[in-house]
Structures are given as structure tokens and as C-alpha cells.
Amino acid sequence: MRRVLVTGASRGIGRAVALAFAAHGDRVGVHYAVDRADAEETLRRLPGSGHALLAGDLGDPRAARDVVDDAVRGLGGIDVLVNNAAAAPSHDTRHRVTDVSYEDWQRNWRRMVDVNLLGAANVTYCVARHLVDRAGGGSIVNIGSRGAFRGEPDFPAYGASKAALHAFGQSMAVALAPHGIAVTSVAPGFVATERQAPRLAGQDGEALRGQSPFGRVGTPEEVAAAVLFLASPEATWSSGTVLDLNGASHLRT
């Protein structure tokens, strides 16, 4: 039984990741920022016992530290961290450089960098110090994005923050390997989460499914399966990798 902290686990990919670990007998810390009802639903669906509900805005460095401290107390320690929480692209966060005011540009950049990069970095720092101090090894998996490689013209701060998250993960893989801690990242393409259901059902749906030669988009469960493997002892030698999960919709060279 491992103790697993999943940030941003109220729904979507985070919920699927939490469910996957719990189904394997692990104890899960379900973190959320504002969607308490959704996070409680995630907690209710988890098989097993000993799970914990954790609240905090990871854009606040003090809250990030408190979330880790609460997870250590609530779970009895942490063995695995999944950095999933993010300020995600939406109609309200669109900031194409030719279309927004300088004030809106600044606001979107600050929020996405604060949560997607600095929030993950701060949580990683606190968890890494816990893992190093107890000298038992562990795993950290970052949820990045295909947009880090393909570009996000409508959401440049999102693409940049995810590219930085990938680079940060590789730096941590080198820094933490001597302590038996593996650090990896996944880079999903478009995923059929609850938040994306209206787009998939609307006029954009066919084009989104057509991005992949499989003729569909990914599922949260497919991302969760990859995270579960990368967090396993069998995947330790994968430390430092960034795994593409996009159904061949974008191929890197």
C-alpha cells in the first residue's frame, strides 16, 4: 500500500488517476482548490479506506506547503506525488496576443505560471524533502501537455507553463535519482474530460477527433493507466522521460 497525493483530483484526469491508484489498493489524498463537492464525489468513489480530502490554492506558496503537510498527516506519509492541478484553457482564459488587453495578458500569464509551474514546483519541493528525509525512495509524475510541443496560440501561457513543467521534471529526475526517487512526466493530447464535453458534442467535435488517426480523443482512464505505470517500481528506469499520450496526433522528432 502506497500513500499517493493527487493534486487537482476533483474531476477529469485527476479523478481518474485517484481512482486508478485506489483500485490498486493505495491510499489517496484527493486535493482540490475550489470544487469541494466534486472532490467529495471523487473521495466517495474511491475503493478502500484511509483516503483524505485536501484543500488549497496551489498558486499560493503557503497553501502548497500546507497541502503537503495535511497529506502527510492524513495519509501517514507520501510515497507518490502526481502533479495534476492546473489553470486550464477555457473560454475565460483565452489570451491570443492579438486579441487581449495587456492587463488580461498579464492576468492569464500570472495565474497559469503560478499554478501550473510554481505550484507544482512548490509541492514537489515539499514532497521531495519528505521523501529524502525518510530515505525510502518514491515517485513523482507530472501531468504536462502536448501543447508544450505543438504550441498553444490561444493559450500561450498554458503551453509555456507545461513546457517548463516538463523541463522542471527532468531537472528533478537528475537531482533526486541519488535518493531513489523517480520523476517522470506525461504529455496528453486532447482528453475527453467533463470540462471538454460541450466542445466534443459541438461543432468542434469532429475536428478534435480528427486530430488523431485513431479518429477519437483520449480518455482520462488512458492517462491514468500511464501515470500508474510510471509511478510503479518497474518504471524507475524511465525517470526523466516525457511520455507522449496523444494518439499520434502530434509526433515529436
* 83 within 8 A of 117, measured Cβ to Cβ: no
Write the single-letter amino acid at 55. Answer: A
Write the single-letter amino acid at 61. Answer: P
Given the residues 10, 32, 139, 145, select the one marked as catalytic. Answer: 145
Respond yes or no: is residue 162 known to be catalytic.
Answer: yes
Respond yes or no: is residue 101 known to be catalytic.
Answer: no
Torsions phi, psi for 72 (to 5 deg): -60, -45
Given the residues 161, 162, 185, 249, select the one marked as catalytic. Answer: 162
Write the single-letter amino acid at 73. Answer: R
The string of DSSP codes covering 178-214 is GGTEEEEEEEE-SB--GGGHHHHHSTTHHHHHHTSTT
E strands of the chain, at which residues? 3-6, 27-32, 52-55, 80-83, 138-143, 181-188, 242-245
Given the residues 32, 139, 158, 161, select the one marked as catalytic. Answer: 158
Q: How many residues does the chain have?
A: 253
Catalytic residues: 145, 158, 162
